[in-house]
Structure 1
Amino acid sequence: MVLDIERQGYSFPWSESVFRDCFRDNYRLWALVSGECLTGYAVVAYMFDEAHLLNICISPKIRGAGAGRLLLRHLLAESSRDGMEQMILEVRVSNDVASALYLSEGFSEIGVRPNYYPAADGREDARVMALAV
């Protein structure tokens, strides 16, 4: 189900092997479930006192209904509870919807990673964002 949502959500989805590699002590894997149906997930890596949001995806069936915000807030609360001091993330510069969500939740842009993401016409820059938790 994770791979299905991933493939629907991204032009360049993670492979199953990338997801399997995230089952490590310093990673946190979260699922958003409605009834018995997986509707979203997130992958966060803990490094020292920093939570790095590596992947968050919501099923296209429920996008725009607040599920992404709910999951993001949960990740932030859990990261704080686990002693993390900040959360960082990368987001495609073209992903205005996700950028707006992160900004509305208090994240600020702290930099840009040139050519970070694969894109149909080559590579795309990533906006780096951070929030103290």
Structure 2
Amino acid sequence: MSAVLQPHIEMLPMALYDVDEVLAIEYAVCPFPWGRGNFTDSLASGYSCWVCRVDGEMVGYFVLMMVIDEAHLLTISVAKKRQGMGFGARLLRHAMETAQGGGAKRMFLEVRPSNEKAQTLYRHFGFRQIGVRRDYYPAVGGRENALVLARELTENVA
């Protein structure tokens, strides 16, 4: 009988040396990606930036901005070949726990109306739409609205 090896999954604070790997994922999965400056500025500003690694391979990341008792999820992505495996949920759960640990009582995020997979994930975790930002995102042939979602963090993280 052979033992099944379980993958080693780690959530680690993002460092400057991670940015090249983050950008590789960002450019592969986002139609209008953040650039190097967005990530290095987030790190320099002290935002909560995290990566998820499986057996050393980066599979995703998020950037969370904390302001007093609110958290704003600025970006979250999973490598294309790792999507649909639960890493988005793992990253979002970690972002919510990080926000709670930092004293946040509520978490906000924006999502494209066209990104139905992300909306499904966010709704599973209890996020609800509270508004719309008109022409927020760049899009092919113009601009796309953003749905503004929020979730109270006073209850348990799903």
| TM band (smaller chain) | over 0.9
* Residues 11-36 of structure 1: per-residue CA shift (max 9 Å, x gap): 11011011111014541001000011
Query: In 2, are the aligned partners of 1:89 and 1:129 still within 8 Å (CA)?
Result: yes
Higher strand share: 1
Aligned length: 133
Q: After the TM superposition, list the runs of 4 or more consecutive aligned residues in structure 1 that deviate by more than 3 angstroms.
A: none
Q: 1:59-74, aligned counterparts within 5 Å? A: 59-74=79-94
Of stretches 78-87 and 24-33 in structure 1, the one that deviates more from structure 2 is 24-33
Aligned residue identity for 1:9: V
Gaps of 5+ in 1: none
Query: In 2, are the aligned partners of 1:26 and 1:47 still within 8 Å (CA)?
Result: no
Gaps of 5+ in 2: 1-20, 154-158
Compare CA radii of gyration and give the structure with the larger one: 2
- Pairwise CA distance, 1:106: 0.3
Cα RMSD for the two superposed structures: 0.9
Matched with 1:120 is 140
Aligned residue identity for 2:135: N
Percent identical among aligned pairs is 42
Matched with 2:115 is 95
TM-score normalized by the length of structure 2: 0.82
- Pairwise CA distance, 1:121: 1.2
